[in-house]
Amino acid sequence: MYEYVGSVHIHSNYSDGTGSVEEIARAAREARLDFVIITDHQNMKGYLEGREGWYDSTLVLFGTELNQEDHHYLAFNLKEELDTRGLAPQEVIDLVNQKGGFGFIAHPFEKGSPLVLQGRHYPWKDWEVHGFQGIEIWNYTSQWRDGAQNLLKALYSIYLHRNSNLKCPCPQALQAWDRHLARGEKVLALGGTDAHAIRVKAGPLQAEVFPYPFLFRTITTHVYLPLQLRGDTLHDRAMIMDSLKKGHYFTANDQVHPSQGFLFFAENSQEQCLSGDTIALNKKTALEVEAPSPRSTIKVIKEGKVIRESSSPNLVFKVLERGAFRVEVHYRSLLKGERPWIYSNPIFVV
Ligand SMILES: [Zn+2]
Ligand SMILES: [Zn+2]
C-alpha cells in the first residue's frame, strides 16, 4: 500500500481564486504535495480544456464546487460540467451520483464575517438529504472567516498567528458526522483549505491573504493506494478518486507535525480492511492504529464518544459490538499542549 498526500478544495482563476493552474501546481510542488484537486465554482473548465495531468511531481485534477442558493457541494470524479441552477440540494446530490461522481457537503456550519463578502456565508441547511459521500469537517478559509469577527482578530490571524485558524475541525461538523454514523449511515469526512490566495489592496500596499504554498502545508488529505502512481493521468486519477470514494484516506493538519505513516485498519480471522471499509464482527475482530509519533494520543470514537484512549503510538482495540469506529490522534506538543492532528475515516463493523 502506498500513501500520497494532497489538497482537495482549491479555487483557481477559473472562478474566484487568483492563481493559474501552473501557479497552483508550483505551490503544491513547493509544499511537497503529490496531488491537488482544483474545485472551481460551477465549472470544470480546467478539465474540459485538458489541463489535468502531471506538472513535474504533482498531479493536478479537477472537481467542482456546486453552489445553489446557499448550499455548497464539492463534487469529484465528474467528466462534464453540470448545470445545477434552480436545483434543490437533494437534486444536486442525485445528479452528481447519476453522472458517476460523488460529493461532500462543504463547510456546513460556516458563520461568515462582517468583514468579508459583506457577511455572506453558505452553511448547509438541508439535513434531510441522503446519497452524499461525506462532510467537509475541516475548512481552513471558512473557519478563519468565522473567527475574523473584527478587524483586530482578522489582522492577528492573517499576519501574526496564522495557525490560530487551525485549532481543530469545526465542532458542529464533527457532531453532524457522528450523528450520521450513529444512525448507521456510511458517511466520510474530508478536510479542505478552500484556498483562494485572495489579493487585497490598500493604497500602495498589496498582500496575498493565505497564499497557496502556505495553505498546502496545513490541512491535507492522505490517500492509501494499492499501486504506485505511475505518471499516467487517467490511471492515476482513477486510483485517487477510488480511494476518496471508498474512504481509503485520512485528514490531517500537517502544521502540527508530519502525519505520513498514520494507519488505521481492522482485521478478523478472515479478512483485513482499511478505513471506509466494512468488516464482520467475530471473536477476532480488532481495530489497529499506528500513529506516526511517540507524542500521539489516540482516541477511538463511536457515536461521538471516546471509548478508548491511549498515549502510546500503537493501539490494538478488540471490538465487541457493531457500529462505526473512527480514530482521532492528538499530538502532545511540549509548548502547546494537546493539539488535534489526524482524523481517520470510520471502519464499519457489521
Ligand atoms: Zn464554498
Ligand atoms: Zn470553496
Report d(CA 46, CA 279) in Å as an integer.
39
Give the residue extent of every domain in the chain.
2-253, 263-349
Per-residue pLDDT at 147: 72
Q: How far is the CA of 146 from the centre of ligand 1 (A)?
A: 13
Q: How far is the CA of 41 from the centre of ligand 2 (A)?
A: 7
Per-residue pLDDT at 269: 92
Per-residue pLDDT at 183: 95
Per-residue pLDDT at 102: 98
* pTM of the predicted protein model: 0.94
Task: Supply φ then ψ for residue 147, to 5 degrees.
Answer: -85, -15
Per-residue pLDDT at 153: 73
Report d(CA 279, CA 285) in Å as an integer.
8
Q: How far is the CA of 257 from the centre of ligand 1 (A)?
A: 27
Per-residue pLDDT at 206: 67
Grid cell locating 157:
490571524
Q: How far is the CA of 263 from the centre of ligand 1 (A)?
A: 30
Q: Which ligand is nearest to the CA of 117?
A: 1
Q: How far is the CA of 181 from the centre of ligand 2 (A)?
A: 25
CATH code at 263-349: 2.60.40.10
Pick from 300, 280, 290, 314: nearest CA to 346: 300
Listing DSSP states for 212-250 in one string gives HHHHTTSEEEEEEESS---S-HHHHHHHHHHHHHHT-EE
Per-residue pLDDT at 113: 73
Q: How far is the CA of 121 from the centre of ligand 1 (A)?
A: 8
Show Cβ contacts of residue 16 under 8 Å, excluding neighbours closer than 6 positions: 41, 196
Q: What angle do CA 90, 184, 98 make, to 5 degrees?
A: 30
Q: How far is the CA of 43 from the centre of ligand 2 (A)?
A: 12
Q: Which ligand is nearest to the CA of 141?
A: 2
Per-residue pLDDT at 200: 67
Give per-residue pLDDT as tens, 307-343: 999 999 999 999 999 999 999 999 999 888 899 999 9
Q: Which ligand is nearest to the CA of 37?
A: 2
Q: How far is the CA of 73 from the centre of ligand 1 (A)?
A: 7
Q: How far is the CA of 11 from the centre of ligand 2 (A)?
A: 6
How many Å separate Cα 183 from the centre of its chain? 22
Q: How far is the CA of 9 from the centre of ligand 2 (A)?
A: 6
Selected from 3.40.50.720, 3.20.20.140, 2.40.480.10, 1.20.1250.20, the CATH number assigned to the domain covering 2-253 reads 3.20.20.140
Task: Identify the segments of the chain with pLDDT beneath 70.
Answer: 156-157, 159-160, 164-165, 200-207
Q: How far is the CA of 301 from the centre of ligand 1 (A)?
A: 28
Q: How far is the CA of 145 from the centre of ligand 1 (A)?
A: 12
